[in-house]
Amino acid sequence: MKKSVQPLLPLLLAMTLAGTCGAANAPSCPKTIEVSQKPTVIPDGFHAYVDGNPPTTDLSAAEKVELERIAFSDGPPTEIGWLAPDHDERKYQVFTFNGSKDTPVWLTCGYSNTSIIVSMPLPPEIKSCKVTHDPSIQGYPATGMTCR
């Protein structure tokens, strides 16, 4: 067991020493975003409700959704080049990158109760990110990240 952990010690030590400061220009996922979902046309005889118990009819209000997942891709997410973590634990994942100005790695943030994602290319100087998770919640949702 010690042999498999030993090669990761320098990386883990470097990330621990870096703390939360990370790279000065590293983007991060917003903790929440506001989304609005409503039908464009309601068929005759039907009423539209927001799912709930009991349902409500207020379809004009935006709903605040919370950060749930953080992913990285080789190019924009539309190209479906999702990257696997180099190290994967219940509490965190470590990703390392070889992105450049011409072929950047993209950061993608996913949120609860919506299929909406927000994405952006990472600056080429970002070479690794550590994504933290909450293991006490089913599905281990992402809680944040630090990048270097």
Confidence of residue 36 (pLDDT cuts 50, 70, 90): confident
Alpha-carbon gap, residue 138 to 65, rounded angstroms:
17
Cα dihedral 96, 101, 102, 107 sign: positive
Confidence of residue 24 (pLDDT cuts 50, 70, 90): low
| Number of C-beta neighbours around residue 145 at 10 A | 23
Q: Are 146 and 15 in contact, with CB atoms under 8 Å apart?
A: yes
Instruction: Give alpha helix (H) positions in 1-145.
Output: 2-5, 9-18
Q: Are 94 and 72 in contact, with CB atoms under 8 Å apart?
A: no
CA 22 to chain centre: 17
Cα dihedral 128, 97, 76, 71 sign: negative
Alpha-carbon gap, residue 1 to 148, rounded angstroms:
28
Q: What is the pLDDT of residue 7?
A: 40
Percent of residues, the chain, with pLDDT higher than 70: 76
Q: Are 144 and 124 in contact, with CB atoms under 8 Å apart?
A: no
Q: What is the pLDDT of residue 55?
A: 67
